[in-house]
Amino acid sequence: MSSEPSSESKPPDTTQTVVRLMFAIVQAQDVYKALRALEGAGIPANALSSTGGFLGQRNVTLMIGLREGQETLAVELIHENCRQRVEYVSTPLEGAPLPIPIATPITVGGATVFTLPIERYEEV
């Protein structure tokens, strides 16, 4: 038998109560990295598929339960793992006699984060 510690993830500490609920809307490309980072810090999160209105991009809404003192860490982890990108969309050239599309750079990605206090939390 080895005396080395297990490399498996430890279960989150459930002795503290969840005091805030964070919703982070991220691009689908970033969700795996964000979930792994949150899990590694012992912050529980669930992913809900969603579709964004902007450019019709596939997004994922992360629902994150936060215990006292975890809000700053969660935002830092999301910031580190959900990056902004430049994508190009075709827009018509104004004033042209024919509709000539030109590539216009648009910044997408990152995350939109909402944090709400929890007035009541119950596991049934």
What is the domain partition of the chain in residue ranges? 18-117
Confidence (pLDDT) at 102: 81
Residue 73 has phi, psi (to 5 degrees) of -60, -45
pLDDT, one tens digit per residue, over 20-40 is: 999 999 988 889 999 999 999
pLDDT, one tens digit per residue, over 93-120 is: 777 777 778 888 877 778 889 999 998 8
- Output the CA torsion 73→76→82→88 (10° steps): 150
Confidence (pLDDT) at 92: 78
**Chain mean pLDDT for the chain:** 81
Confidence of residue 54 (pLDDT cuts 50, 70, 90): low
Class of domain 18-117: alpha beta
